[in-house]
Amino acid sequence: MHHPGNVFVVSAPSGAGKSTLVRRLVSTVPNLIFSISFTTRKPRPGEVDGLDYFYIDDASFEAMVREGGFVEWVEVYGYRYGTGRDWLNGVLASGQDVLLDIETTGALNLRRAIPDACMIFILPPSVAALEERLRSRGKDSDEQIRIRLEYALHEMEQYPAYDYLVLNDDLELAYRRFESIILATRASRERMAPAAQRILEGF
């Protein structure tokens, strides 16, 4: 997949603070677009179609799978989620960077489709801190928390597949680490070579 823009993938166990970091990053760093996934689940209160997700039914999702319409897709908790190929290609062709917030299975699938994607994993400070964060939300039952922690173990085991690990032990410091990865990737020799060549040609 040829793409002028960078592809950043971020994953983390539920409760690691990923959403807080991602929201700040996208609102602060220019020319960084947050990827909007397709999903078969229904919108939650306050969610907007085309802003939070593209909400489609199972038949439409299945048709897109058959037609190769997804760069990656997975099923999580009984619902399917996927990154639209045409949407992603369109944003990248404009030269803008895309940040994808996807769980580990989808992230590994995307890496196969886009080998030069920059993979970032957000680490919680500890298992105890992760459990405390999940409980403090007040949204999940004890059984749901147990399931989320079991899945968190599965996700943590995938960390060797990622390029960068950001420890979220202090929110401000974690954000600075996260942002620095984006900025450093943009300044890599491979990405900046065309600019360097243009300058050389001016001599």
Q: Is residue 166 classed as helix, strand or coil in its secondary structure?
A: strand
- Statement: residue 134 has pLDDT above 60: yes
Give the type of residue at 114. I
CA distances from 146 to 11, 79, 150, 152 (A): 20, 20, 6, 10
Q: Which pTM does this prediction carry? A: 0.88
> Mean pLDDT throughout 134-143?
83
pLDDT digits (tens, 9 = 90+) for 30-87: 999 999 999 999 998 888 998 889 999 999 999 999 999 999 998 887 899 999 999 9
Say what the pLDDT of residue 5 is: 87
**How far apart are alpha carbons 93 and 97 in whole angstroms?**
10
pLDDT digits (tens, 9 = 90+) for 89-101: 998 888 899 999 9
- Statement: residue 3 has pLDDT above 80: no
The H or E element spanning position 137 is: helix 127-137
- Residue 54 tokens read as 């593209």
Q: What is the DSSP letter of 125?
A: S
Residues contacting residue 131 through CB under 8 Å, at least 6 positions apart: 15, 145, 149
Say what the pLDDT of residue 2 is: 55
Domains of the chain listed by start with CATH number? 7-35+96-201 (3.40.50.300)
> Mean pLDDT throughout 174-178?
98
What's phi and psi for 10, nearest 5 deg? -125, 135
> Mean pLDDT throughout 7-15?
93
> Mean pLDDT throughout 161-185?
97
Say what the pLDDT of residue 52 is: 86
Say what the pLDDT of residue 169 is: 94
Average pLDDT of the chain to the nearest whole number: 92
What is the percent of the chain with per-residue pLDDT over 70, rounded to a whole number? 99
**How far apart are alpha carbons 184 and 57 in whole angstroms?**
39
Say what the pLDDT of residue 136 is: 87
- Statement: residue 88 has pLDDT above 70: yes
CA distances from 18 to 3, 26, 55, 144 (A): 26, 12, 22, 19
> Mean pLDDT throughout 175-201?
94
